[in-house]
Structure 1
Amino acid sequence: MLRLAMTTDAETFERVRGPLADRGIAIDHVQAKERALRVSGGREREGPSDADDEFDGFDAGFVYPSRLMEGVVVDARLSVPWVNDREAVLTSRNKAGVLAALDAAGIPTPRTTLVSNPVDEAVVTEAVAPFSYPVVVKPNSATRGVGVATATDLDSLLGVVDYLNLVHDYRATGDKSYLIQEFLPDARDYRAMVVDGAYVGAVERELPPDAVEEGRWKHNVHRGAAATGVDLPDRARELAERTAEALGIDYLGVDLLETDGRLVVNETNARPTVDAATKYKPDFYDRLAGLIERTAAGE
């Protein structure tokens, strides 16, 4: 039986464990953060350092750890190929890089400008000039909607930027860039899943009516939105597949926004949460198992 290492023990781990076991793939959790990790043995010897039992016997890894520093150590200990490796995670995490690559490939995206701190107010003012308010302001590397805000005029935009400047002032902050992006009102929010180049299902993420009435607009599941399985039209499926192909990522969540007949790719996620199997196509787990097997075989 093929053995797969997974560095998350949250929803995805619990949902995929049984279906993949039925297809000959055993999953075990490898803790990659909030722990102590041995880096070296501390003595002279020939060959690799003493093995850690918890890292032994794996044939492949699922998705590279989210914390890249710890990930390097875990990667060295496991010494296996990943379905989504470090490069895939880094590619998807860079929102501006993703949008630039997709735009170059002729894939529709929201109008977006990257601002690299530190800059003065004149640069921000010039950057936002081509946009109509409100605009979306978001950190370039954050996930789950963290730090994303709207600005309704120049003063409110500069207020958001002041906050980002405070955060970016800390030397340990790696990515000091943020995006100014057009706001698409009343857009329907979809997460399409692509496995090994093929669309395998999607969910629509919606806030409850009371949240919408309160003025909330971010459809992140971690912020209270519900994910409902949907059957996307061909043009949306093709857009998701083209996105995965353009980025060269085999297992990818593609976030689509649709409003006024316009369909765009807003973001991608190389560490997408797997939802209930009923929300995907019947061959979802067959395709996923096949991708894992090919990864383990080095293909």
Structure 2
Amino acid sequence: MRGIDEMELRETSPIRALLPVEGSMRLGILWWEPGEVESLGIAEACRERGHEVTLFGLEDIGAGDTPLGTVPTIAGEEADAFDTVLSRAHIGAENWRDAVERLSLLSDTPGLAMLDPVGTHVRTVSKFAMLHRLTRSGIRVPPTRSVRTMADVEQAVDRWGRIVLKPSVGFRGIDVERFTHGLGLGERAKAASLLDRYGVLICQPYYPHEGDHRVLVIGEEPSVCTRFHTSGDAWKPFPGDGLPPGGSWDVRIEVRDPSREMADIGIRATKAMGLSYAGVDVVETEDGPVVMEVNVVPGWGALPPDVQRVPNRAVADLVERRTRELRPL
């Protein structure tokens, strides 16, 4: 799929582009997938301010030859024609090499504001790297170890009792599994399958809790924050690979104002990772709040449209500020 330019959007999109005005910027939005609600909403907020916006995917990033050598391109156009690129790119285990290579191309474009560059993106996508960086910044995270064998898993169960296994690179709860009743035959088979699939896993103690908090931070301010009402079998916000026949995943999402403590944790975690904006997942335990994850591509597309407009506009503000640092609008 090639990038969607302004003329196409004027002709085909329900989100109408406005003609660029004096002092406008050229913005590229690298979306997670075609039609992603958050990217479309941010684009609309930026066009309402008179900015020119191109939506594109990882497959649209390439290299072109010029008299001066090789240059990065976006949908066939030299990347330095853009003022800023906002990256909401998906980096997963299945596309790691290709995604990192293409993001590296863009991140090395002189004069292009990249939100955020490849190094910042990658160290957040990797949960091992993320947890280490948060620890170094004095932010409380779960005790974490890497496991490669069933013997490693058994040692973790002996130490913590109830555990969670997950891949270091993953999203939406896929292959995130809890083990709360020891390691019977079924549990061993499940753990062994995960080890075969990934080779190495993150292992953490399971914290019994009701409710997961997502603190959305944009710039250095908390934006829309949510609480996922998790409990019982629906113990994580998203079911991951799907549900068994007849199963249900009843998790209600509540929009709420964060406490001062939650807002501070979210801001500190976002700053520690060097991100322009992030979704910080926090669980309240008996010993206090614990940061479970920092999401480099936070989502809010499941929220009501009027609520979605709040982060859309806040990200537009952020992009304008960062672009202005390089070139006055």
TM-score w.r.t. structure 1 length? 0.78
Q: Give the Cα–Cα distance (whole angstroms) in 1 for the partners of residues 154 and 71 of structure 2.
A: 55
Q: Give the Cα–Cα distance (whole angstroms) in 1 for the partners of residues 309 and 139 of structure 2.
A: 24
- CA drift of 1:234 comes to 0.5
Q: Confirm or deny that 1:108 pairs with 2:132.
A: no
| 1:128 partner amino acid | V
> Which position in structure 2 is the counterpart of 1:219?
237
Q: Confirm or deny that 1:140 pairs with 2:168.
A: yes
Judged with a 3 Å threshold, the aligned counterparts in structure 2 of structure 1 residues 29 and 71 are, in CA distance, closer, same or farther, namely: farther
| 1:149 partner amino acid | E
Q: Give the Cα–Cα distance (whole angstroms) in 2 for the partners of residues 221 and 230 of structure 1.
A: 23
Q: 2:117 aligns with which of 85, 97, 100?
A: 85
Q: Is the 8 A contact 2:28 2:54 kept in 1?
A: yes
- CA drift of 1:157 comes to 4.9
Q: 2:323 aligns with which of 287, 291, 296?
A: 296
Q: 2:129 aligns with which of 73, 91, 97?
A: 97
Judged with a 3 Å threshold, the aligned counterparts in structure 2 of structure 1 residues 105 and 289 are, in CA distance, closer, same or farther, namely: same
Judged with a 3 Å threshold, the aligned counterparts in structure 2 of structure 1 residues 127 and 182 are, in CA distance, closer, same or farther, namely: closer
- 1:154 aligns to what SS in structure 2? coil
Judged with a 3 Å threshold, the aligned counterparts in structure 2 of structure 1 residues 103 and 51 are, in CA distance, closer, same or farther, namely: closer
- CA drift of 1:178 comes to 1.2
Judged with a 3 Å threshold, the aligned counterparts in structure 2 of structure 1 residues 61 and 149 are, in CA distance, closer, same or farther, namely: same
- CA drift of 1:31 comes to 2.2
Structure 2 stretches of 5 or more lacking a match? Answer: 1-23, 243-248
Q: Is the 8 A contact 1:137 1:181 kept in 2?
A: yes
Compute the RMSD of aligned alpha carbons.
3.2
| 1:106 partner amino acid | G
Q: Give the Cα–Cα distance (whole angstroms) in 1 for the partners of residues 67 and 114 of structure 2.
A: 29
Identity, % of aligned positions: 19
Judged with a 3 Å threshold, the aligned counterparts in structure 2 of structure 1 residues 65 and 298 are, in CA distance, closer, same or farther, namely: farther
- CA drift of 1:292 comes to 1.4
> Which position in structure 2 is the counterpart of 1:11?
37
Q: Is the 8 A contact 2:45 2:313 kept in 1?
A: no
Q: Give the Cα–Cα distance (whole angstroms) in 2 for the partners of residues 281 and 17 of structure 1.
A: 11
Q: Is the 8 A contact 1:111 1:181 kept in 2?
A: yes
Q: Give the Cα–Cα distance (whole angstroms) in 1 for the partners of residues 71 and 294 of structure 2.
A: 37
Judged with a 3 Å threshold, the aligned counterparts in structure 2 of structure 1 residues 227 and 59 are, in CA distance, closer, same or farther, namely: farther
Q: Is the 8 A contact 2:64 2:70 kept in 1?
A: no
> Which position in structure 1 is the counterpart of 2:69?
47
Structure 1 segment 212-251 matched on structure 2, within 5 A? 215-220=233-238, 225-251=251-277
Aligned length: 278
- CA drift of 1:145 comes to 0.5
Q: 2:85 aligns with which of 50, 61, 82?
A: 61
Task: Name whichever of 250-259 and 74-83 sits farther off.
Answer: 74-83
Structure 1 stretches of 5 or more lacking a match? Answer: 169-175
TM-score w.r.t. structure 2 length? 0.72
Q: Give the Cα–Cα distance (whole angstroms) in 2 for the partners of residues 95 and 50 of structure 1.
A: 29
Judged with a 3 Å threshold, the aligned counterparts in structure 2 of structure 1 residues 25 and 260 are, in CA distance, closer, same or farther, namely: farther
Structure scoring higher RCO (CA < 8 A, sep ≥ 6) equals: 1
